[in-house]
């Protein structure tokens, strides 16, 4: 890794790395992460922080003795805690001459392409002006169905959004082990990973602490996103001295996740389709079409459609499936579900002149934009 180029770096810090034994925010731990960010800023890098900790910072003031488990209490605690968390970050950054800003995101903000692009523009302005965006999920108002749920995948999606050079995930463990270290005392640290294999998926267990939400599973999901998007990533222990600085300069103890080679990387449009769009329907295709779109890399045409599920409009992202229900990939459709269904119905009744449809509106249904498996 080159040492003299200014980089755009996303740092994710989990609840377990910001809290005391009692589960409350630890000022000392907050100061440590701020000091690390300041060092990178002083070196000329752009830094975004994805910080958990809203619930931890707020539950005591809500009147709960322990971290709540029920969603309304957690959301209420986050409503108190998010403000306190940002206040602490802002004060600490200001004492070093830097300004922090708050960005709260819900999954909806990313599944709408306009809002997604808008978020990128806003963050770019902040970064160009030397501000440190501090991002969290908008816990207080997000309902379960629309949650990212964990900040690990959120941080990887943010890294893709801003075309970051590196994602650093800080946790309470010094990297990825070849099996869950709580269950296997002989587990070995993996220093580099360039492919998420089935063994790695199997090694990733649930959270180790009462305050963490995603565990190693959601971190692996996050690294699948960075690896497919051409972004370097690192997992290390938040408490280790200079961990962030050393991770940026390639000297840290932890796990480095290398991206796929350049020509396999997804561009930003494809990243959005793959990881953020939230497909709205399904198009099942004939066997011959499967061979032609996967092996011959051809596009999908009206005569390839076997049936359609769900309601979607022209321009929506849909899942493309084979006749066994296996997902082949994702694509942006040129037709609404109603129109496609009409075509399928008429074809079945042998009434439709496909050539006529092709002449009238072009019979290209979609390209195979994303081939599965791409990540999540």
Among 7, 9, 11, 15, binds ligand ADP (CB under 6 A): 15
Give the whole-angstrom CA distance, residue 266 versus residue 281: 22
Among 59, 89, 177, 312, binds ligand ADP (CB under 6 A): 177
Which partner from the list ligand ADP, ligand VHF, none does 137 bind, CB cut-off 5 to 8 Å by kind? Answer: ligand VHF
Among 8, 9, 10, 15, binds ligand VHF (CB under 6 A): 15
| Neighbouring C-beta atoms of residue 225, cutoff 10 Å | 26
Which partner from the list ligand ADP, ligand VHF, none does 61 bind, CB cut-off 5 to 8 Å by kind? Answer: none
Structure tokens at 337: 């579900």
Give the whole-angstrom CA distance, residue 339 versus residue 329: 21
- Give ∠ CA 163-54-59 in degrees, rounded to 5: 165
Residue placing its CB nearer to ligand ADP in the complex, 165 or 221: 221
Tell me: does residue 55 bind ligand VHF (CB under 6 A).
yes
Residue placing its CB nearer to ligand VHF in the complex, 102 or 336: 102
Q: Is 214 annotated as contributing to ligand binding?
A: yes
Tell me: does residue 23 bind ligand VHF (CB under 6 A).
no
Site size toward ligand VHF, by CB under 6 A: 17
Q: Is 217 annotated as contributing to ligand binding?
A: yes
Nearest of 54, 94, 101, 100 to residue 75 by alpha carbon = 54
φ/ψ (deg, to 5) at 342: -55, -45
Give the whole-angstrom CA distance, residue 243 versus residue 226: 20
| Helix ranges (DSSP H) in the chain | 27-42, 54-58, 71-95, 107-111, 113-128, 151-161, 198-203, 215-229, 243-248, 268-271, 287-294, 337-348, 354-361
Whether 336 and 310 have beta carbons less than 8 Å apart is answered as no
Give the whole-angstrom CA distance, residue 110 versus residue 112: 5
Judged by CB under 6 A, the stretch of 14-22, 125-133, 135-143, 296-304 that binds ligand ADP is 14-22
> How is residue 333 annotated by DSSP?
-
Nearest of 340, 362, 339 to residue 285 by alpha carbon = 340
| Neighbouring C-beta atoms of residue 129, cutoff 10 Å | 9
Among 136, 166, 255, 334, binds ligand VHF (CB under 6 A): 136
Contacts of 40 (CB under 8 A, 6+ apart): 9, 47, 244, 245, 248
Among 96, 182, 297, 355, binds ligand ADP (CB under 6 A): 182
Tell me: does residue 88 bind ligand VHF (CB under 6 A).
no
Q: Is 43 annotated as contributing to ligand binding?
A: no
Token pair 């770096």: residue: 9
Tell me: does residue 64 bind ligand ADP (CB under 6 A).
no
Q: Is 303 annotated as contributing to ligand binding?
A: no
Tell me: does residue 214 bind ligand ADP (CB under 6 A).
yes
Applying the rule CB under 6 A, the residues between 56 and 85 that interact with ligand VHF are 56, 78
Judged by CB under 6 A, the stretch of 133-141, 249-257, 333-341, 361-369 that binds ligand VHF is 133-141
Tell me: does residue 137 bind ligand VHF (CB under 6 A).
yes
Among 88, 140, 213, 229, binds ligand VHF (CB under 6 A): 213
Tell me: does residue 148 bind ligand ADP (CB under 6 A).
no
Among 53, 81, 207, 375, binds ligand ADP (CB under 6 A): 207
Judged by CB under 6 A, the stretch of 49-57, 180-188, 190-198, 270-278 that binds ligand VHF is 49-57
Tell me: does residue 236 bind ligand ADP (CB under 6 A).
no
Q: Is 169 helix (H, G, I), strand (E, B) or coil?
A: strand
Give the whole-angstrom CA distance, residue 262 versus residue 188: 30
Tell me: does residue 236 bind ligand VHF (CB under 6 A).
no
Q: How far is the CB of 221 from ligand ADP (least distance, A)?
A: 12
> How is residue 52 annotated by DSSP?
-
Annotated binding-site residues for ATP read: 12, 171-172, 213-219
Binding site, residues? 12, 52, 139, 151, 171-172, 213-219
Contact residues: ligand VHF, CB under 6 A: 14-16, 52-56, 78, 136-137, 139, 150-151, 212-214
């Amino acid at each position: 890794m080159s040492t003299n180029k200014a980089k755009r770096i996303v740092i994710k810090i989990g609840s377990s790395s910001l809290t005391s034994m009692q589960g409350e925010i630890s000022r000392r731990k907050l100061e440590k992460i701020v000091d690390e960010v300041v060092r990178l800023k002083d070196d000329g890098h752009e830094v975004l922080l994805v910080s958990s900790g809203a619930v931890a910072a707020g539950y005591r003031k809500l009147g709960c003795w322990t971290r709540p488990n029920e969603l309304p209490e957690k959301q209420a605690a986050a409503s108190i805690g998010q403000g306190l968390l940002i206040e602490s970050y802002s004060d600490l950054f200001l004492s070093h001459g830097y300004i922090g800003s708050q960005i709260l995101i819900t999954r909806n903000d990313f599944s709408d392409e306009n809002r997604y692009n808008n978020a990128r523009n806003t963050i770019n302005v902040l970064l160009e002006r030397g501000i440190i965006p501090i991002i969290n999920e908008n816990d207080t108002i997000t309902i379960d169905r629309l949650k990212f749920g964990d900040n690990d995948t959120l941080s990887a999606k943010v890294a893709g959004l801003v075309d970051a050079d590196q994602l650093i995930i800080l946790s309470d463990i010094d990297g990825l082990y070849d099996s869950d270290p709580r269950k296997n005392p002989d587990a070995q640290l993996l220093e580099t990973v360039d492919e998420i294999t089935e063994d790695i998926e199997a090694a990733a267990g649930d959270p180790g602490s009462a305050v963490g939400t995603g565990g190693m599973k959601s971190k692996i999901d996050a690294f699948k996103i960075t690896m497919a998007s051409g972004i370097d990533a690192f997992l290390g222990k938040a408490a280790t001295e200079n961990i962030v600085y050393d991770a940026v300069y390639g000297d840290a103890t932890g796990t480095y996740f290398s991206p796929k080679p350049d020509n396999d990387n997804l561009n930003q449009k494809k990243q959005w389709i793959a990881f953020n769009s939230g497909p709205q329907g399904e198009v099942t295709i004939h066997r011959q079409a499967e061979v032609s779109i996967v092996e011959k890399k051809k596009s999908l045409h009206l005569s390839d459609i076997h049936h359609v599920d769900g309601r979607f409009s022209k321009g929506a992202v849909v899942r493309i499936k084979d006749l066994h229900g296996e997902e082949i990939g994702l694509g942006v459709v040129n037709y609404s579900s109603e129109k496609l269904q009409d075509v399928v119905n008429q074809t079945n009744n042998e009434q439709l002149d496909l050539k006529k449809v092709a002449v009238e509106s072009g019979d290209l249904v979609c390209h195979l934009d994303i081939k599965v498996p791409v990540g999540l």
